[in-house]
Amino acid sequence: MPRINIWPLLLLCAALPLQGCFDIVEQLTLSENGSGSLRLVLNLSKSRSRVQSLMKMKTVNGRRVPQQADISRQFDEITNTLKKTPGIHQLKGRLDFDNFIATIECRFGSVQQLNQAALKLAQQHQWKKEGLEKLYSYQPASGQFTRQAPFTLEKEYRELSNADREIFSGALYTGIFRFDRAVKSMSNTKSKKSADNKAVMLQSPMTDIITGKQSIDNTIQLSL
Amino acid sequence: MSLHHFLLAVCCTAVSATTHAQSLLSKVPADAALVIRYSGENFATNVPVKKLDSYPFIRNNLYQLLHIDTLVSLDETGINLQQDAFQYILTGDTGTCFVTLLMLRDTAQFKSLLQQQMQAELRPVYRNGYASATISSGSYVAWNHQWAVITMSSYLLRKKYYDYPVVSADTAAEPVLITVAPPAAAEKVEIVTEKPAPRKTTPVKPGAGRKKTGVSAQKKPAKKMPAKKPAPKKETIPDEIVEDHLSYEDSLYNARRDAWFAEQQRHADAVQQKMADSISELAFNSTVKSIINEISYPKLIDPAAHVTVWLNYDNLLSQYAGLLFKGMGKSMYNGWQPRNTGQNTHDGFRTGLSIFFEKNRMRMEQKMYSPNPQLSQLGKEMYSSRQSGALAGYINPGCVAYLSSSLNTEALANYWYHLMRQYLSSNPFTGEYADIVDVYMDLMEIIIDEKSIGELLPGNAVMVLHSLQPRMISYTDYEYDDNFKATEVIKTRQEMAPDFSIVLETKKEAFMQKLARLPLKYADKGKFSYKDQGGYYELSLDSTRNPMKALYFMVKNGRAVITTSLETVNHTLNNTGYPLDEITRQSVFGNNFSLRINTKKIIEQLRPELGDGLNQKITRYFEENMGDLSMEGSYRDGLIQGTTYMNINGKHTNSLEFFFNMIEDLNTILEKDKTERAQKVD
């Protein structure tokens, strides 16, 4: 049955608290032998007062709002899975509910182990799995490092209501890849090289990444 | 034809039209719980049918809903939209009916409209001067050449299959193991369409279908055996060969369940049809005791209004409560009966709402009345107080919104006793012990000192949203140096924070003081900052983390104050107040409640929070088209009365057209935004 769109009023109200700013920061440091460290940060502190208000509600835009206990439980599940992944060690997970910042840090023996960890998480939480085995790759011999976005969420994004889409407006992705060798070149033209030539950074609005307007795929050639 | 004849014909037509409209109201029964009337003027002059046809959302959505061709006009539905239409709800112990009464212009067109709503061919049954047909399960229509009755009836006493689940073996399959002779009950298998009789044994939940069926089948005959006779060892059922059947895997169980549901549906359809038929018969061929004869209807409803709503709380509440208790009685086997509403006086409050779509505003007149003189008097007493000047002084000129209320809480408490007495005496269980209930309520009246409640909070209160102030809030961000090394930095951003005051009048100042002082002792333990600032208390909030810097609490001169504003604190300390403009003064002091929302100001102050894009476009639309909202009410002419005004701006012929325009314009904004987003994605 067709729906008469008399709900824009309600939609506006529902969208207000959600129009948020959040940052996702991915920092990967890679040694020549393929081992390294990863730091992932989800920073919602810019929207702190809104998130605080949201968490007092049961549902927003028809979706259940997870409470502090739910988030902690889910976060613990993720960190436990990562801890159990072979090759992942020194894992530290931190949930700061004062500032609404979630941080996961770990060391790894090879980037393949990170891919395995991502696959394991996807299996456990029934997320999309395609391409996760190629999330990161590194050939020490050729000195080539690749970061690939495993899939696009464009279809899912298009299916979201306007109110839900507003969540992503203002959200920013920052990817920093640091090496102990100089960077010769990188395939993603939007990425920048650091002054010391040993790091590459890519910043992009989340909406551009989700909709495929901006790719985060990058092949970085290191000097041998 | 002479001019006289012509004028006579015109007058007759007009009178006839009026008579029709009148006659439809006369078809609305007096025991309806809710009656809505839509004036024909809405589509005759306010938003003419031609204008209505021109809205794309009407064509795209409403026409689709009605399954009519987008090329035709609403005029071609056969319904006379320029005559009054009525809707009412009848509630009973077995069902609810939502009835619509419409005047017709063209029966053939109306029949064609009905046909379009149906999957099968429309097959009207002609009887006693009208035709009737079933549109779908629960939807029925009846019409003659002048008007139509559409009834949506709903049978509310559908039984629940899983109330008494019976878990049995898969009787369609060969039993795996039979040790003792199978019970007689298991031999005689029938498809039962009636509900199985409740057993006295504890009901087994459907989830218990995993029970060992062989064992279950043997339990009954086993009871008939001598109790102490030990079962021979060879008859013991070995666990490994007992088949585990789920009831939903059982083919016969499924067939029985489907048949039971089908029978239930047939029964429900028959009851619903019967309800609809009786309504049609009553409407076409009987004299209905009309709502117009209900004492409150003419008192509460203004016939000149464009839309009116009449609501009888007593009917609605008591009948739904009856239904609720009937359900409980069934499920608990405790013999509870529905509320005996027959013994109710049915003289509770009725409410009437008359809506006028005026040129620059929508006006809603709300009236409440009870035919019971005692209740009416209580209503009068509740509204017998007036707002105090000291409290009104907290309303600052140019505030974003305020609500002033002045109710006699002592009278309100007395009304509560009346309600409780009425409820408990008609309640099936407590109703049998009316004398005890009476004593109990007397005791409550003795224990609860409504006079003290009235002194603690006499009922005068003011809530003011002074403004929405921008506040700087801190957040964590990252800055990167030339080598992309991240440094955590604390930045600030602007957020809007409400600046408000809530002021309550009290005559028990000592108690309120005690209450305000209470957190002082526990502040250290509770790790919050609550300080006595000499005359008022300050609860400090981390201003870098919260939009509000502090909350102030104080009790002085018979006022309990909670506020974010130091100005309000100073006013209370110095016993001063803001001067009121004439309109606010009249509204606050001339009424028991007064509310005003400055829509433009709210939108203006919230604008920085709304981001870019779609929200800004929608906000701009509201800013340009919506005016202030105000509401006031008092006890006048023996009725509790209230008036709400919603002002409108922009280029709209009247406020009804504004609503249609608004839906259309917002749809256009949303569609445009959708297209722009899609283009961006592409």
Pick the closest to residue B562 from B515, B525, B630, B508 (CA basis): B515
Question: What pLDDT is stored for residue B471 in this prediction?
Answer: 80
Question: What pLDDT is stored for residue B507 in this prediction?
Answer: 92
Question: What pLDDT is stored for residue B157 in this prediction?
Answer: 75
For residue B34, what are its two tokens?
């809710």
Q: Which residues of chain A have a CB within 8 Å of the CB of B117?
A: none
**Which positions ≥6 away from A144 have C-beta within 8 Å?**
A137, A138, A219, A220, A221, A222
- Report the C-alpha gap between B608 and B659 in whole angstroms: 26
Question: What pLDDT is stored for residue B586 in this prediction?
Answer: 94
What is the identity of the amino acid at B452? Answer: S
- Report the C-alpha gap between B121 and B291 in whole angstroms: 36
Distance of residue A187 Cα from the nearest chain B Cα, in angstroms: 19
> pLDDT higher for B521 or A131?
B521
Tell me if chain B has a CB within 8 Å of the CB of A183: no
pLDDT-above-70 percentage for chain B: 74
The mean predicted confidence, pLDDT, of chain B is: 77
Checking B665-668 for CB contacts under 8 A at 24+ apart, the result is B665/B621, B666/A5, B666/A8, B666/A9, B666/B618, B666/B621, B667/A5, B667/A8, B667/B56, B667/B57
**Which positions ≥6 away from B15 have C-beta within 8 Å?**
none
pLDDT surpasses 50 at B180:
no
Give the model's confidence band at B580: pLDDT under 50 very low, under 70 low, under 90 confident, else very high.
very high
For residue B233, what are its two tokens?
């060892």
Q: Which of B475, B609, B666, B670 to mutate to test the interface with A (most CBs of A within 10 A)?
A: B475
Q: Give tens-digit pLDDT for B151-160.
A: 998 887 777 7
Pairing relation of β-strands A23-30 and A172-179? parallel
Question: What pLDDT is stored for residue B611 in this prediction?
Answer: 64
- Report the C-alpha gap between B137 and B151 in whole angstroms: 11
Question: What pLDDT is stored for residue B549 in this prediction?
Answer: 83
| Contact between A6 and B663 using a beta-carbon 8 Å cutoff | yes
Q: Which of A3, A18, A19 to mutate to test the interface with B (most CBs of B within 10 A)?
A: A19
Question: What pLDDT is stored for residue B680 in this prediction?
Answer: 61
Reduced DSSP (H G I as helix, E B as strand, rest coil) percent helix, strand, coil of chain B, to 5: 45, 25, 30
Q: What secondary structure, in 3-state letters, does B85-113 show?
A: EEEEEEECCCEEEEEEEEEECCHHHHHHH
Give, as one character, the DSSP assignment of residue A5: -
- Report the C-alpha gap between B475 and B478 in whole angstroms: 10
**How far from chain centre, in Å, is Cα B586?**
32
- Report the C-alpha gap between A12 and B177 in whole angstroms: 65
Query: Cα dist. B674→A4, A19, B145, B180 in Å?
Result: 16, 17, 46, 71
pLDDT surpasses 90 at B215:
no
Rg (CA), chain A: 19
Question: What pLDDT is stored for residue B372 in this prediction?
Answer: 81
pLDDT surpasses 90 at B513:
yes
**Count of Cβ atoms closer than 10 Å to residue B599 Cβ:** 19
> pLDDT higher for A16 or B541?
B541
Q: Give tens-digit pLDDT for A132-169.
A: 888 899 999 999 999 988 767 777 777 776 666 767 77
Q: Which residues of chain A have a CB within 8 Å of the CB of B62?
A: 4
- Report the C-alpha gap between B311 and B36 in whole angstroms: 9
Question: What pLDDT is stored for residue B495 in this prediction?
Answer: 80
Question: What pLDDT is stored for residue B427 in this prediction?
Answer: 62
Number of CB pairs, chain A paired with chain B, less than 8 A apart: 101
| Contact between A46 and B673 using a beta-carbon 8 Å cutoff | no
Distance of residue A73 Cα from the nearest chain B Cα, in angstroms: 24
Query: Cα dist. A40→A89, B310, B406, B475 in Å?
Result: 15, 60, 56, 18
pLDDT surpasses 70 at B236:
no
- Report the C-alpha gap between B447 and B39 in whole angstroms: 51
- Report the C-alpha gap between A144 and A177 in whole angstroms: 12
Question: What pLDDT is stored for residue B261 in this prediction?
Answer: 86
Tell me if chain B has a CB within 8 Å of the CB of A13: no
Name the packing angle between helices B409-426 and B434-447 (round to 10°): 160
Pairing relation of β-strands B350-357 and B626-636? unpaired
| Contact between B61 and A19 using a beta-carbon 8 Å cutoff | no
Mean pLDDT of B421-429: 66
Question: What pLDDT is stored for residue B571 in this prediction?
Answer: 93
Q: Give tens-digit pLDDT for B310-346.
A: 988 766 555 555 555 444 444 333 333 334 444 445 5
Comparing CB atoms, the residue among B611, B670, B678 nearest residue A162 is B670
Question: What pLDDT is stored for residue B238 in this prediction?
Answer: 47
Q: Which of B476, B480, B609 to mutate to test the interface with A (most CBs of A within 10 A)?
A: B476
Comparing CB atoms, the residue among A12, A15, A25 nearest residue B478 is A25
Pick the closest to residue B22 from B291, B286, B279, B364 (CA basis): B291
| Contact between B680 and A213 using a beta-carbon 8 Å cutoff | yes
| Contact between A198 and B681 using a beta-carbon 8 Å cutoff | no
Cα atoms in the 13 Å half-sphere on the side-chain side of A107: 6
pLDDT-above-90 percentage for chain B: 31
- Report the C-alpha gap between B602 and B401 in whole angstroms: 9
| Contact between B473 and A48 using a beta-carbon 8 Å cutoff | yes
Distance of residue A7 Cα from the nearest chain B Cα, in angstroms: 9
| Contact between B486 and A45 using a beta-carbon 8 Å cutoff | no
Mean pLDDT of B150-171: 67
- Beta bridge mates, B635: B640
Lowest mean pLDDT among A154-163, B139-148, B272-281, B403-412: A154-163
pLDDT surpasses 50 at B75:
yes
Tell me if chain B has a CB within 8 Å of the CB of A162: yes
Question: What pLDDT is stored for residue B103 in this prediction?
Answer: 92
Tell if the pTM clears 0.80, that is, is over it: no
Q: Which residues of chain B have a CB within 8 Å of the CB of A154?
A: 681
Question: What pLDDT is stored for residue B163 in this prediction?
Answer: 61
Distance of residue A164 Cα from the nearest chain B Cα, in angstroms: 13
pLDDT surpasses 80 at B175:
no
pLDDT surpasses 80 at B13:
no
pLDDT surpasses 50 at B5:
no
- As a whole number of Å, the end-to-end CA separation of chain A is 64
pLDDT surpasses 70 at B124:
yes
Question: What pLDDT is stored for residue A16 in this prediction?
Answer: 38
Cα atoms in the 13 Å half-sphere on the side-chain side of B523: 16
**How far from chain centre, in Å, is Cα A86?**
22
- Report the C-alpha gap between B427 and B420 in whole angstroms: 10
Q: Would you say the ipTM is above 0.85?
A: no
Q: Using an 8 Å Cβ cutoff, are B199 and B233 in contact?
A: no
Q: Which residues of chain B have a CB within 8 Å of the CB of A46?
A: 475, 477, 493
Question: What pLDDT is stored for residue B186 in this prediction?
Answer: 34
Distance of residue B51 Cα from the nearest chain A Cα, in angstroms: 18
| Contact between A12 and B667 using a beta-carbon 8 Å cutoff | no
- ∠B575-B577-B580 over CA atoms, to 5°? 150
- Report the C-alpha gap between A181 and A193 in whole angstroms: 13
**How far from chain centre, in Å, is Cα B490?**
46
Question: What pLDDT is stored for residue B70 in this prediction?
Answer: 64
Mean pLDDT of B587-614: 85
3-state secondary structure of B564: coil
Question: What pLDDT is stored for residue B446 in this prediction?
Answer: 84
For residue A38, what are its two tokens?
């990863």
User: What chain B residue is nearest to A191 in terms of C-alpha separation?
Assistant: B484
Q: Give tens-digit pLDDT for B653-669.
A: 899 999 999 998 988 88
Distance of residue A118 Cα from the nearest chain B Cα, in angstroms: 25
| Contact between B615 and A27 using a beta-carbon 8 Å cutoff | no
Average pLDDT for runs of 10 along chain A of length 224? 34 40 90 93 84 74 78 89 90 89 93 91 78 88 89 74 70 92 93 94 89 89 90
Q: Is A131 left (phi over 0), alpha (psi -120 to 50) or beta?
A: left
Question: What pLDDT is stored for residue B518 in this prediction?
Answer: 92
For tokens 């002033």, the residue is: B404
The DSSP code sequence of A66-134 is PPHHHHHHHHHHHHHHHHHSTTEEEEEEEEETTTTEEEEEEEES-HHHHHHHHHHHHHHHT---TTGGG
| Contact between A3 and B484 using a beta-carbon 8 Å cutoff | no
Question: What pLDDT is stored for residue B54 in this prediction?
Answer: 83
Question: What pLDDT is stored for residue B426 in this prediction?
Answer: 62
pLDDT surpasses 80 at B355:
yes
